[in-house]
Amino acid sequence: MRKWLFGGLGLLLAIGLATLICGLSAELDRDLSITEESYRFKVNEGDGLIRVVNAFESQGLIRSADWVRLALQFEAHSLVVKPGDYQIEPGESVRQLLKRMDAGDVVVYPVTIPEGVTLDWMLARLWSHPQLSRVLEGPRDERILSLIAPFSAPEGLFLPETYLVQAGDTDLSVLKRARNAMRETLSQAWLSRAGNLPLNSAYEALILASIIEKETGVARERPTIAGVFTRRLQRGMRLQTDPTIIYGLGDDFDGDLKRRHLRDDTNPYNTYRISGLPPTPIALPGEAAISAALNPSPGGVLYFVAKGDGSHVFSETLSEHEKNVRRYQLQRKQDYRSSPR
CATH assignment of the domain containing 43 = 3.30.1490
Asked whether residue 303 falls in the same domain as residue 208, the answer is: yes
Q: Identify the domain containing residue 114 by its residue range.
A: 109-186
Distance, CA of 313 to chain centre: 33
Please tell me the predicted confidence (pLDDT) of residue 37: 78
Asked whether residue 88 falls in the same domain as residue 178, the answer is: no
Count of CB atoms within 10 A of residue 126's CB? 24
Asked whether residue 231 falls in the same domain as residue 145, the answer is: no
Domain boundary among 186, 207, 236: 186
Residue 98, by phi and psi: left (phi above 0), alpha (psi -120 to 50) or beta?
alpha
Asked whether residue 88 falls in the same domain as residue 129, the answer is: no
Asked whether residue 313 falls in the same domain as residue 201, the answer is: yes
Read off the pTM: 0.83
Count of CB atoms within 10 A of residue 248's CB? 21
Please tell me the predicted confidence (pLDDT) of residue 332: 57
- Within a domain: residue 333? no
Asked whether residue 208 falls in the same domain as residue 301, the answer is: yes
Would you state the torsion angle of the CA atoms of residues 264, 265, 270, 273, taken in this order, to the nearest 10 degrees?
Answer: 110
Listed residue (197, 217, 218) closest to 208, CA to CA: 197
- Within a domain: residue 14? no
Asked whether residue 322 falls in the same domain as residue 299, the answer is: yes
- Within a domain: residue 234? yes
How many domains is the chain built from? 3
Domain boundary among 142, 160, 186: 186
- Within a domain: residue 18? no
Please tell me the predicted confidence (pLDDT) of residue 165: 96
- Within a domain: residue 300? yes
State the Cα–Cα distance between residues 217 and 339, nearest whole angstrom.
6
- Within a domain: residue 336? no
Asked whether residue 151 falls in the same domain as residue 245, the answer is: no
Asked whether residue 128 falls in the same domain as residue 173, the answer is: yes
- Within a domain: residue 78? yes
Asked whether residue 114 falls in the same domain as residue 99, the answer is: no
Asked whether residue 166 falls in the same domain as residue 199, the answer is: no
Please tell me the predicted confidence (pLDDT) of residue 338: 44
- Within a domain: residue 252? yes
- Convert the pLDDT of each residue in 10-51 to its tens digit: 544 444 444 445 455 678 889 898 877 779 999 998 899 999
Please tell me the predicted confidence (pLDDT) of residue 3: 55
- Convert the pLDDT of each residue in 64-94 to its tens digit: 899 898 888 877 678 899 999 999 988 899 9
Domain boundary among 161, 186, 211: 186
Asked whether residue 78 falls in the same domain as residue 150, the answer is: no
State the Cα–Cα distance between residues 260 and 265, nearest whole angstrom.
10
Sequential pLDDT tens for the chain (341 residues):
555 544 555 544 444 444 445 455 678 889 898 877 779 999 998 899 999 999 999 999 998 899 898 888 877 678 899 999 999 988 899 999 999 999 999 999 999 999 999 999 999 999 999 999 999 999 999 999 999 999 999 999 999 999 999 998 999 999 999 999 999 999 999 999 999 999 999 999 999 999 999 999 899 999 999 999 999 999 999 999 999 999 999 998 988 888 899 999 999 999 999 999 999 999 999 999 999 999 999 999 999 998 888 899 999 999 999 998 888 876 655 444 443 32
